[in-house]
């Protein structure tokens, strides 16, 4: 990578960080941060660490792809099941799985990349697709402090450098409001504790257990929901 490319990526990352510091809900800036870190040592270390976790490595080797689903289908599953609770939350919050799939497609595989990059892009896409399932299982909300909690889980479990930068941006954003800052710090601690104690969220084939009771998933994974 030449100097111009390095400078351009650095500027993209800086702009993304400043954008998130001003508006943590600006999703595009999150992807800019991710792009700016490509091929850097922290990102390579993160990718290698993820693949050192046997369950995640197995998921990648299988190239696991879930069967398609709709919220209507999931909402008809037994009360209290993972799929039913997930669908209910998604519908209540006006979230669209198709939009999530579109975001996941932005992390689709490209030709001409290394084996490590190919595997890490699959995992990025997988994490995007299951992000709201992780919200359901951990019970962290989709508000700002809830996103802090879930990002802290990712930081603890997979050492995600973008999660670290996102958390820094959010904390800087909330410092002007002591009450909001306190909530963010509290959920940061809760997320780190949960991430260290629980089995890895990214390693799970959630879609094969939509009908399983949510509390059984939580018990099996060692998660005390927030």
How many other C-beta atoms can be found within 10 angstroms of the C-beta atom of residue 66? 13
Q: What are the backbone angles phi and psi of residue 150, rounded to the nearest 5°?
A: -70, -40
Q: What is the pLDDT of residues 140-162, one digit of tens each?
A: 999 999 999 999 999 999 999 99
What is the pTM assigned to this prediction? 0.89
Q: What is the pLDDT of residues 87-138, one digit of tens each?
A: 999 999 888 777 666 665 654 445 447 788 788 888 888 998 999 999 999 9
At 81 the three-state DSSP class reads: strand
CA distance 215 to 213: 5
CA distance 82 to 52: 28
CB 173 within 8 A of CB 29: no
What is the token pair recorded at 142? 């989709």
Comparing CA positions, the residue from 221, 141, 220, 148 lying closest to residue 190 is: 148
């Amino acid at each position: 990578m030449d100097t111009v490319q390095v400078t351009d990526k650095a500027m993209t990352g800086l702009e993304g960080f400043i954008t998130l510091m001003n508006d943590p809900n600006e999703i595009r800036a999150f992807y800019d941060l991710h792009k700016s870190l490509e091929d850097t040592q922290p990102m390579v270390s993160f990718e290698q660490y993820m693949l050192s976790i046997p369950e995640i490595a197995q998921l990648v080797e299988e190239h696991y792809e879930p069967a398609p689903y709709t919220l209507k289908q999931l909402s008809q599953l037994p009360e209290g099941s993972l799929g039913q609770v997930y669908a209910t939350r998604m519908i209540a919050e006006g979230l669209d799985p198709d939009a999530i799939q579109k975001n996941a497609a932005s992390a689709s595989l490209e030709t001409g990349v290394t084996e490590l990059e190919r595997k890490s892009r699959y995992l990025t896409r997988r994490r995007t697709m299951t992000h709201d399932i992780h919200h359901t299982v951990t019970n962290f909300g989709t508000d700002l402090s809830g996103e802090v909690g879930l990002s802290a889980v990712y930081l603890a479990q997979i050492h995600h450098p973008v999660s670290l930068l996102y958390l820094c941006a959010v904390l800087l954003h909330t410092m002007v409001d002591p009450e909001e800052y306190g909530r963010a710090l509290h959920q940061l601690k809760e997320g780190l504790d949960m991430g260290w104690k629980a089995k890895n969220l990214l390693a799970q084939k959630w879609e094969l257990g939509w009908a399983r009771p949510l509390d059984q998933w939580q018990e099996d994974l060692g998660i005390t929901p927030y």
